[in-house]
Structure 1
């Protein structure tokens, strides 16, 4: 095998499961799946380990199975650690359901931003208990570092236009956090300058939407946190992933223990290049992109970026097993075959 996953000789479509970040938290997202054994077991393990570690009194199972649970903004203000753990658990549980129901194998998982931790778990590199433990450590590091109030801003600018705007508006502390699509760029920075960026974008007649986030991820403000987090990660055992793990921060598979640990910390300071990663996966022969989030955020980006490929979100809006299976089957049935000769570049 080369540096990544090669297109299969029998022409089987290559499938990637995409693990979203903070947009994945939706109150009661798993309420119709609570009786699925793998979902119940995952939520039990997450809540048991979170309770053993302390730091939050909010059970994840209640947040993800009760439609009347706090919304994203409310939960983030009241209990940011619970918000992080619930987001992580929602993606891991949803991905597990898709893996159980898929009639054909998933060949890779792709993490987007904080979804990298979920991707590592889905691939078997870390356990759910490790994932919860890492979120607790990161929470403590963020509180100890006490960075200034900061956040994320989604725009419909291209990366080039966003960079020009930041230069002309004199906003040196605002950085490009994510290039999700040719016309979707996320900015990160301290609240004051981010507010100025929002006004500048809207003055151009373009969309600028603050995202629910506890801080400015993908920004140098978190360099101190990243350094300490990476130091902690050195002590974490990591298993060889199956399937392969990709991060939108690197556009290539993580294979070595050092690379896998790097994936876990990438969301703190590394910018996301999701559009570039999608194109790289397509070049390697991937034609089916499944979103494990409840809002179809990543599948919408993949559909726009990769015409001719299949992009689906079987778990969009809370749905039961039968409906999820129907959506998943329909998506896989429509999957195009990889182009002849498609393969990853050799390492």
Structure 2
């Protein structure tokens, strides 16, 4: 690091990208730890849900700003026991709050990426949706998510996954997501999914069922996608004010795009992170704007030269010194290990 006049001069700030995860990885314990570490994040969670909670109240959903920030540790099981749509509203609001906190702390994005359900919060971050309408969109998605199937992660390529589906004769199982060159998600009816999982393990491929009691990214959901599109078209969308990339569309959104339909397409179309992220600067600073770290792991695989972090998931994240992210020699090896490796 250069030194001028006795003062350490930090490296230039790279392009910053906020990437918004879908529903498959939403632990709440990291959020509890992060809001205790960052007063700004705590306030942003409170502020976002002050806007979103009145929307949820019309569905009988409890006041989430109090539930998420209260003295009792909330769990995913607690959310599942609450009225339908609670988990979706919580994930949307938490992602929007993390984004807002990072912006206040000098880590505003030059671009955003929405991954499946994460498109809603990404559109809010890009200025295309208000928080209340984002909350309405999240609840609309919950209304049209069917529980007649599940999703499974296979630790293999999409080509090998297609071969396994063919061997299993699983015509009702579809490739849902390409998370990385060596991680693929499949979706389908429970019985058919179980057959593919067993066959994958027989061929040395790890198969992990996603803890999400719904079917998504499946071509059979055309009626649900149509209903969701109609519901979303009642909301007010505007063109993104910063570059917004959709992992389902696998490209940057434009002013001509039907953004409501783009969200609805998440029910029926597969997504590809490698294709989508290929459009980003290879040395960008990419922050996962959620509570888990699975998406950040995929980004590290796809963009090995990027600086990748998951602020809420990673202990030791420098909430009070964001420039440490792009000037890592300023911080200890232990700190780096938490949010850079």
**TM-score of the superposition, structure 1-length normalised?**
0.82
Structure 1 residues 69 and 173, CA, compared in 2 at 3 Å: closer, same or farther?
farther
What is the rounded CA distance, in whole Å, between the counterparts of 1:113 and 1:249 in structure 2?
7
Give the superposition deviation at 1:310: 1.3
Give the superposition deviation at 1:227: 0.8
1:303 corresponds in structure 2 to: 300
Structure 1 residues 155 and 264, CA, compared in 2 at 3 Å: closer, same or farther?
same
1:7 corresponds in structure 2 to: none
1:214-229 alignment, distance < 5 Å: 214-229=213-228
Encode CA deviations 1:26-69: one digit per residue, 9 max, x unaligned.
22515425764332111211112210x21x43332244325854
Q: Does 1:324 align with 2:319?
A: yes
What is the rounded CA distance, in whole Å, between the counterparts of 2:311 and 2:226 in structure 1?
37
SS at match of 1:256: coil
Structure 1 residues 304 and 139, CA, compared in 2 at 3 Å: closer, same or farther?
closer
Encode CA deviations 1:109-144: one digit per residue, 9 max, x unaligned.
1011111111011111111111111223333344xx
Q: Does 1:159 align with 2:137?
A: no
- For the aligned residues, what is the CA RMSD? 2.5
Structure 1 residues 67 and 265, CA, compared in 2 at 3 Å: closer, same or farther?
farther
1:169 corresponds in structure 2 to: 168
1:40 corresponds in structure 2 to: 46
Q: Does 1:123 align with 2:120?
A: no
What is the rounded CA distance, in whole Å, between the counterparts of 2:173 and 2:71 in structure 1?
36
**TM-score of the superposition, structure 2-length normalised?**
0.83
Which range moved further: 159-168 or 36-45?
36-45
Alignment size in residue pairs: 313
Partners of 2:114 and 2:121 within 8 A in 1: yes
Partners of 2:318 and 2:325 within 8 A in 1: no
Give the superposition deviation at 1:238: 1.3
Give the superposition deviation at 1:232: 2.6
Give the superposition deviation at 1:22: 1.3
Encode CA deviations 1:313-343: one digit per residue, 9 max, x unaligned.
2222578xx84233x32223369xxxxxxxx
2:27 corresponds in structure 1 to: 26
Structure 1 residues 288 and 115, CA, compared in 2 at 3 Å: closer, same or farther?
same
What is the rounded CA distance, in whole Å, between the counterparts of 2:87 and 2:323 in structure 1?
31
Give the superposition deviation at 1:226: 0.6
What is the rounded CA distance, in whole Å, between the counterparts of 2:66 and 2:203 in structure 1?
43
Q: Does 1:245 align with 2:244?
A: yes
1:89 to 93, 98, 123: 93
Q: Does 1:111 align with 2:114?
A: yes
1:194 corresponds in structure 2 to: 193
Partners of 1:25 and 1:90 within 8 A in 2: no
Which range moved further: 71-80 or 180-189?
71-80
What is the rounded CA distance, in whole Å, between the counterparts of 1:252 and 1:67 in structure 2?
42
What is the rounded CA distance, in whole Å, between the counterparts of 1:254 and 1:211 in structure 2?
28
Q: Which runs of 5+ in 1 are unaligned?
A: 1-10, 336-347
What is the rounded CA distance, in whole Å, between the counterparts of 1:41 and 1:243 in structure 2?
23
Partners of 1:14 and 1:288 within 8 A in 2: yes
Partners of 1:24 and 1:91 within 8 A in 2: no
What is the rounded CA distance, in whole Å, between the counterparts of 2:176 and 2:102 in structure 1?
29
SS at match of 1:22: coil
Partners of 2:21 and 2:295 within 8 A in 1: yes
Which range moved further: 40-49 or 255-264?
255-264
Partners of 2:147 and 2:213 within 8 A in 1: no
1:294 to 291, 301, 305: 291
Partners of 1:24 and 1:87 within 8 A in 2: no
